[in-house]
Structure 1
Amino acid sequence: MNYKFSIILFLCSILLTGCFGYPRLLSYPFDPGGRSLNSFASELNPQISGRYLVFTTDRRGSQDVYMFDTVTRNLVDLPGLNSFDMIASHPAASENGKFIVFTASREGRANIIFYDRDVRQSRNLTGNLQGEVRNPTISADGSRIAFEYSNNGQWDVLVYDRFGQKLNIPQDPS
Structure 2
Amino acid sequence: MKRFIFASLFVGSLLSGCVGYPRILNFPFDSSGRSLNSPYLENSPQVSARFIVFTSDRNGSQDVYLFDAQTRRLIDLPGLNALDEIASHPSITEDGKYIVFAGTRQGRTNIYIYNRETQQKRNVTSNLQADVRNPSISADGSRIAFEIAKNGQWDIAVYDISETKLIE
TM range (shorter): 0.7 to 0.9
Alignment check: 8 A CA contact 2:144 2:159 kept: yes
CA offsets 1:66-85 (integer angstroms, 9 cap, x no match)? 01111111111110000110
CA offsets 1:3-37 (integer angstroms, 9 cap, x no match)? xxxxxxxxxx9433332454332111110111000
2:14 equivalent to 1:19: no
Alignment check: 8 A CA contact 1:56 1:66 kept: yes
2:83 equivalent to 1:84: yes
For residues 123 and 162 of structure 1, what CA distance do their matches in structure 2 show? 11
For residues 64 and 135 of structure 1, what CA distance do their matches in structure 2 show? 15
Q: Tell me how many residue pairs correspond in the alignment.
A: 156
> Percent of aligned positions with the same letter in both sequences?
56
Deviates more, 1:147-156 or 1:79-88: 147-156
Q: Moved runs in structure 1, 4+ residues, more than 6 A? A: none
Query: Which of the pair has the greater relative contact order for Cα pairs under 8 Å at 6+ separation?
Result: 2
Which residues of structure 2 form unaligned runs of 5+? 1-7
Decide whether aligned partners of structure 1 residues 20 and 77 sit closer, same or farther in structure 2, where only a CA change above 3 A counts: same
For residues 87 and 157 of structure 1, what CA distance do their matches in structure 2 show? 22
For residues 99 and 21 of structure 1, what CA distance do their matches in structure 2 show? 30
Bigger radius of gyration = 1
Which residues of structure 1 form unaligned runs of 5+? 1-12, 169-174
Alignment check: 8 A CA contact 1:14 1:26 kept: no
Determine which structure has the larger helix proportion and give its number: 1
